[in-house]
Structure 1
Amino acid sequence: MDTLKTLLGTMRIPFLLLTPACVSVGVGTAHWQMGKVDWLTASLILLGAVSAHISVNVFNEYYDFKSGLDAKTERTPFSGGSGALPGNPQVARVASVLAWATLLITAAVGVYFISELGVGLLPIGLFGVFLVVSYTTWCAYNPLLCLLAPGLGFGVLMVMGTDFVLTGSYSLSSFAASLIPTFLVSNLLLLNQFPDVEADKSVGRRHFPITIGVEASSVLLGVIYLLAYLAIVLGVLLSLLPLYALIALLTAGFAWRSYRGARRYATDIPALLPAMKMNVLVNLLTPALLAVGLFIA
C-alpha cells in the first residue's frame, strides 16, 4: 500500500485535470468542422494523452529525486513536486519503470492511430515523445525551451493531434485553437517556477525566473496572458474559430488577478499562492470554455 501511495503521488493526480481540458479543445474543433465526433476514438486519444502526462510527471519526480533537488525544494500546493519519493526512496526504481510504461502506452496508442490514418500523425507523435523524455533532463536547462516545451506539448501537439485523429487532416482552425493552451500552459509552468528559483539554481537549471529574475518574469507572464486572449479574438476575427469561442474570454479576470499578484508578490511565496491558484483556474477553465463554445457553434 505504501508503494502504491507513493506511485500515485508521483503521478500528481490533481494536475492530470489539465489533460482532458486540453484534449477537449481538439475534440471541439473536430466537432465544429465535422458536425460529429467518434467518442470511442476520442476516449482512446484521452488515454494516450493522460498516459503521456503521467509519464512526464513521474520522470520529473524521478529525476528531481535522483539529482537531490527534492531535498532542497520549498513545496507549495502548485509547485515543487509531490515529495513522494523522498518519503519512500526504495520506490524510485519502480517509479522509473512506471514512467517508461506509461510512455509505452502513449506510444502504442500513437502507433495504432498511425496504422489507421497514415504517417501524417508521426511528426506530432515523435515530437511529443521527445518532449516527455527530455523535459526534465534537457529542456529545463535552457530558458526558452523550458518556457515553450510545456505549452507546445499541451497546446499545439495535443490539440492538433486530437483534431487530426478525429478529422483525418490538419486545419488552421485547430492550430488557432491550440495557441490558447500553448500560451496558457507555458504560463502555468512559468509562474510555478517562482518558488523554486534557489533550489533549481543549485542543480544547474536555467529557466526565466533564474536568468532574468522573478520581477521581469512576472512581466513576461502578463505578455503571455495577453497573447493567449489575443489568439482567441484573432481566431474569431479571421473566421478560424466561431463567435461562441469568445466565451473563453470570461477567464480574463482570473488572469488579471494572477498577473497582478505575480507583480506584487513575486518574491513573497506565501503571498504569491493566490496568484498561482488563479493561474491554475485560467488553465483549466479557458480551454474548457473554448471547447464549450466550439460545441455550441
Structure 2
Amino acid sequence: MAATSSAGVLRVCWRCARPNFLVLAPLCAGLAVTSAWLDGRAPEGAAILLVLLAALLAHAAVNLFNEHHDFASGLDATTRRTPFSGGSGALPEHPDAARAVHRAALACLAGVVIIGAWCLWRAGPALLLYGLLGLALVVAYTGWLTRRPWLCLMAPGVGFGTLMVIGANHALTGGFSATALAVSAVPTLMVSALLLANQLPDIEPDRWVGRHHLAIMLGARRAARLVAVLVFGAFLVVPLAWAAGWLPAETGLMWLAAPVALRLIVGLWRLPSDVDAGDFAGLLPLLGLNVALLLASLSLLNLGLWLAA
C-alpha cells in the first residue's frame, strides 16, 4: 500500500475528528454563554470564543483518541459501520496515518489545557476541578470507562452537560450559576442517551475487544428503552425547572421538538425482539432521529435563554 501523502494524512485526521458531530460541543458550551446572559452577566467576546474553541477541541480530542484506539485494538476490523456508529473508517483505509491521528488528539488536548490554564488564571482555582475531571474523561473514556457500564453511561453526559455547561459558565463569569446547573441537565441526559443508542449496533464487536457497557449488559432492546427514558427525562427538565423558578418560560421553546421526541421514544420502546439478535434495520432511522432531536433541542434551548436574557 502506498504511503499516504501529507494532504491525505490531514484528511484522515479531519475524518477521524468526526466533523459532522462537532456541532454538539458549541451548542453545549453555548448554554454556558446564554445562561450567563440570562443571569445578567456579559462575558467578553474573546472569552466566549476561547470557551467555545476549548469545547470544540475537547470533543475533537475524544473522537480522535477513540478512532485511534478502535483501530489499534482491532475493533475497526470487526465492526459494521453506520453513519452513527463504528467509526469513520479512515484509519483502516490509511493505516500509516495512525500515529498522526494520535498526535492530532494530543494536540487538541494540549489546546484544551492551554485555554483551561487561561480560564483558571481568570476565574480562580475552583475551576481546576472541572478541568481535571474533563481531562480524565477525555483520556479515560475509550480505554477504561467503556469497560464500566454505569460510568460509561454517565461519562458523555457529565462531560458535555455538567462540565461543559457549568464549568464554561464558571470560566466566563467567575462564579457558580443555578441557571447553568438547571439547564445542564438537558444535555447531561440527552448526550448520554445518544452515546448509549449509538453503541447498540456495535454490541458484538465491542464485546469481542473486551468492552462492557450497558448496551452489552442489558441487551439491545432493554438498552433502547433506557435511551427512551433518558430522552423523556430530558424533556421533563424544562417544565420542572420552570415550575421551581430556575428557568424562564422561554426555555419551553425546547418543547417544539416534543413531537420528534415522542416519535423517537415510541420507536425505541417498540423495537422488535429481532434487535437482540443483531437485526438493526429498524434501529438505524431512530439513531438519525436521535441526533437530529439532540441538536434541535439544544438549539431551541439556547434560543429560549437568549430571548429571556
TM-score computed with the length of structure 2 as normaliser: 0.93
Deviation at 1:263, TM superposition (A): 3.0
Return the match for 2:122 from 116, 123, 129. 116
2:297 aligns with: 286
Deviation at 1:208, TM superposition (A): 1.2
| CA contact 1:25–1:288 (8 Å) conserved in 2 | no
2:176 aligns with: 170
Deviation at 1:35, TM superposition (A): 5.0
The reply on whether 1:235 has 2:235 as its aligned counterpart is no
Instruction: Write out per-residue CA displacement over residues 148-175 of structure 1, whole angstroms, 9 at most, x where no aligned residue.
Output: 0000000010001121122210122111
Q: Report the AA paired with residue 54 of structure 1.
A: A
Alignment of 1:52-131 (within 5 A): 52-131=58-137
| CA contact 1:261–1:274 (8 Å) conserved in 2 | no
DSSP-derived class of the 1:169 partner: coil
1:196 aligns with: 202
Return the match for 1:187 from 169, 184, 193. 193
1:158 aligns with: 164
DSSP-derived class of the 2:247 partner: coil
Return the match for 2:287 from 252, 256, 276. 276
Deviation at 1:36, TM superposition (A): 2.8
Return the match for 2:224 from 212, 218, 225. 218
Deviation at 1:23, TM superposition (A): 1.1
Q: Report the AA paired with residue 208 of structure 2.
A: S
DSSP-derived class of the 1:269 partner: coil
User: Are residues 18 and 148 of structure 1, via their aligned partners in 2, closer, same or farther at CA, if it must alter by over 3 Å?
Assistant: same
| CA contact 1:218–1:259 (8 Å) conserved in 2 | no
Identity of aligned residues (%): 41
| Aligned mates of 1:257, 1:84 — CA distance in 2 | 33
Deviation at 1:219, TM superposition (A): 1.6
| CA contact 2:228–2:269 (8 Å) conserved in 1 | no
Deviation at 1:223, TM superposition (A): 1.3
| Aligned mates of 2:74, 2:115 — CA distance in 1 | 34
Alignment of 1:25-40 (within 5 A): 25-40=31-46
User: Are residues 19 and 107 of structure 1, via their aligned partners in 2, closer, same or farther at CA, if it must alter by over 3 Å?
Assistant: same
| Aligned mates of 2:138, 2:173 — CA distance in 1 | 25
DSSP-derived class of the 2:39 partner: helix
Superposed CA RMSD: 1.2
DSSP-derived class of the 2:175 partner: coil
| Aligned mates of 2:197, 2:261 — CA distance in 1 | 12
| CA contact 2:194–2:227 (8 Å) conserved in 1 | no
The reply on whether 1:257 has 2:268 as its aligned counterpart is no
| Aligned mates of 2:117, 2:43 — CA distance in 1 | 21
Q: How many correspondences in the alignment?
A: 297
Deviation at 1:260, TM superposition (A): 2.5
Structure 1 gaps, min length 5: none
User: Are residues 215 and 263 of structure 1, via their aligned partners in 2, closer, same or farther at CA, if it must alter by over 3 Å?
Assistant: same
| Aligned mates of 2:281, 2:176 — CA distance in 1 | 44
Deviation at 1:215, TM superposition (A): 1.2
DSSP-derived class of the 1:271 partner: coil
| Aligned mates of 1:202, 1:112 — CA distance in 2 | 42
1:134 aligns with: 140
Q: Report the AA paired with residue 283 of structure 1.
A: L
| CA contact 1:259–1:275 (8 Å) conserved in 2 | no
| Aligned mates of 2:9, 2:217 — CA distance in 1 | 37
The reply on whether 1:6 has 2:12 as its aligned counterpart is yes
